[in-house]
Amino acid sequence: MGCIPRKHLGAKATKPVDLVITPSIFVRENSLDINEVYDFGQSLGRGAFGEVRRAKHRSTNLLRAIKILLKDKPSTEANTELLNEVEMIKAVDHPNIIKVFEYFETPRKSYIVMELCQGGELFDEFSKRNVLKEDDCATVIKQLLSAVSYLHSHNIIHRDLKPENILIETKGDISNVKISDFGTATLCAKNAKIRGALGTVYYVAPEVLLGNYDSKCDMWSIGVIIFTLLSGCPPFDGINDNAILNKILKGNYSFTGPIWANISREAKDLISSLLCPVETRLTAESALNHPWIQRRCPNNQDLHSLGNVLTKLKDFHCASKLKEAVSIFITSQCITSDETKQLKEAFKTLDVSGDGKISKKELADQYTKFMEGGESKAAVEEIMADVDSDKSGFIDYTEFLKATLDRKKLESSENLKAAFNLFDKDKSGTISAAEIRMVLDTGNMANSKIWDEILGEVDTNGDGVIDLREFEALVNKKTIL
């Protein structure tokens, strides 16, 4: 015990209290010509909606996937669909949900810039293997359940979960997958019902076909996915769509055939607990606690490396709102998946419930392994005050990363330049209070003086603007001579 060093406490600068910084405020429409910002590469896939292409950001060289939507509908309807997908994705912050960075509009096309998953679709990986071993399947499903649990806690229903909409971050490595394609996702308040059928035939829940459903329709789809990944065949099949839909409505499926003889009773039990009437169907939270998931996905995080992460969390403090904004921008927009791979595993270890966020209790349970009770309680309170930027009562994924990332990576000259350019709207080489407001104001600020206060924290020479030197000094804590 006591191997985590105490944080040296001292006078803290006062941050403006009514400004909440979240990754979503940096996801917005870019008014530039997209070809001035990105170099387009190969096509990653085509569909009825349009196309997804690989691209490279011209100034940062960061790789992206760009979803190109053809506007074959009236512009108002097309814009609504685009904004729906962008708003759904940018509102969430989970390691197993695809990230969106920005979007562009032209009279004929819409463009959504998203993170690039080099491994392609789970459907393609599954097609190569024919079936997945139970341990591999459980690894994928645990991630899906965590992401879906998170979505449902935010009243979001995906409505089209299937292997084609699950992306693999790194080629051949199913330990990190992400849910994508939120084009048909919708908001649904707790205990409310939705009307109207949507989804893909093989994976659609019976209550969706009847036009009266809630978030548990996603759980049915996960049941179909598990069945298909383990056996190589869907549970409901037929000569045409109508035949398949009739079987779904009747709930007719079976575990017959040679392949099912070698699949565990626990796997079959989980499937049966998902492909069942909605009244008895498991929630994502309950499914995460199912024995098949718990036994096949043990937590193997190295205690020493976890201790290092806990130390970083405890040592983190950000007195300036502008520095906090810069850290969240860089973490959410500039840091690559390779740079966060180990931290992602640490986050999952701390997130014992698997709901995609770290609670105060989950933190406390870890710190009591290294510190005395009273000391650990004080540490957790201070961590929540410093790291929980949006004051949600939980540490979200980006909040965790901003506090634990290697500072040299986070504060590299390339990342700081990208952040400076974000605020320097008029490309004058300096940042004004008005430009800070343009980036950070979400329209909910009661105190209009806050922008001058934020600028004053950084404007050391008092000329009314922030130059690059002052900006870098803020982030790197340099002393300006």
d(CA 163, CA 321): 41
User: Among residues 72, 93, 135, 160, which one is catalytic?
Assistant: 160
d(CA 40, CA 93): 27
Produce one character per residue of 395-407: b if its CB has 16 or more CB atoms within 10 Å, e if not: bbbbbbbbbbbee
160 catalytic, yes or no? Answer: yes
Residue 67 is labelled as binding a ligand: yes
Tokens of 100: 């969106």
- Residues 96 and 177: beta-carbon distance below 8 Å: yes
d(CA 390, CA 24): 11
- Residues 416 and 472: beta-carbon distance below 8 Å: yes
Q: How far is CA 258 from CA 136, 263, 431, in A?
A: 20, 10, 68
d(CA 62, CA 119): 17
Count CB neighbours of 477 within 10 A: 10
Amino acid at residue number 113: V
Q: How far is CA 115 from CA 39, 62, 69, 111, 414, in A?
A: 15, 9, 17, 13, 19
Which positions are catalytic? 160
Binding residues: 67
Q: Can you say which residues are annotated as belonging to the binding site for ATP?
A: 67
